[in-house]
Amino acid sequence: MKKGEILLNVLEILEDRAVDSFDLLMAFLNAGHNVTSKNIDYQYSKIKSERSKKDFLKQLTPQSKKRYYTFVYKLKKDRLIEEKTKEDKKLFSLTSLGKNKLKILQAQIKSKISSTNYKKEVSDKLTIFIFDIPEKEKRKRDWLRSVLKNLGFQMIQKSVWLGRVKIPKQFLEDLNNLQIINYVEIFEITKTGSLKPLD
């Protein structure tokens, strides 16, 4: 996952509430999985029930710890987060600069994948559009579903769409630019009833 996306995910966690150092660590370690405050609470309770926090921290590799401390140091150095101590507990929260940075990152992601309006053209062939996009690319997956709906595809299952639709060239280019083209399969049903990949 790109650094900007990790930063975005972590700042989104801090937007919800002040978090302690362990929750921030969990957010960082799970940044590639679209972690939420709810997920952190669940994972934290799971860890508490299975082993002590101390045991969990012992299992972290030196590389993971180093990456985490470097990440937190940079957030503090850039004045994106602030650290306070409450009842012998370190708490991290967003500064005003951090909130602004979060808005900028969210706008950048939105602008990359905001367009869902492509030229609609009816095809005389039936097209099957199948995708399997990882959870960490949830925003792109949601965008893709919106595009398919706008183009006139019908959802057969969440990841299988069907329609008499010509696939716009710009749409294929955008799938490539967003680096999700490898998660997509497109087929046309010929008049003989056979399937053939769409090049």
Instruction: Tell which residue, 87, 85, 152, 89, has the closest CA to residue 117.
Output: 152
Q: Which CATH class is domain 3-112?
A: mainly alpha
Q: How far apart are CA 1 and CA 9, in angstroms?
A: 11
CB 16 within 8 A of CB 37: yes
22: tokens are 């362990």
Which residues on neighbouring strands pair with residue 162, listed in sequence order? 128, 154
Q: How large is the average pLDDT for residues 19-34?
A: 72
- pLDDT tens digits, residue range 77-126? 999 999 998 888 889 999 999 999 998 887 777 666 667 788 899 998 89
Burial (Cβ within 10 Å: 0-12, 13-18, ≥19) of residue 58? exposed
Sorted by sequence, the CB contacts under 8 Å of residue 79 that are 6+ apart come out as 95, 97, 98
Q: How large is the average pLDDT for residues 62-75?
A: 90
Q: Where are the domains of the chain?
A: 3-112, 122-197
Does domain 122-197 fall under CATH 3.30.70.240? My reply is yes
pLDDT in the model for residue 90: 86
Q: Show the DSSP H helices in the chain as ranges.
A: 3-16, 21-29, 37-50, 53-59, 62-77, 96-112, 138-151, 169-177
Give percent above pLDDT 90 in the chain: 31
DSSP state of 32: G
CB 128 within 8 A of CB 171: no
Instruction: Tell which residue, 172, 139, 145, has the closest CA to residue 158.
Output: 145
CB 13 within 8 A of CB 5: no
Q: How far apart are CA 170 and CA 105, in angstroms?
A: 24
Model pTM score: 0.53
Q: How large is the average pLDDT for residues 4-20?
A: 79
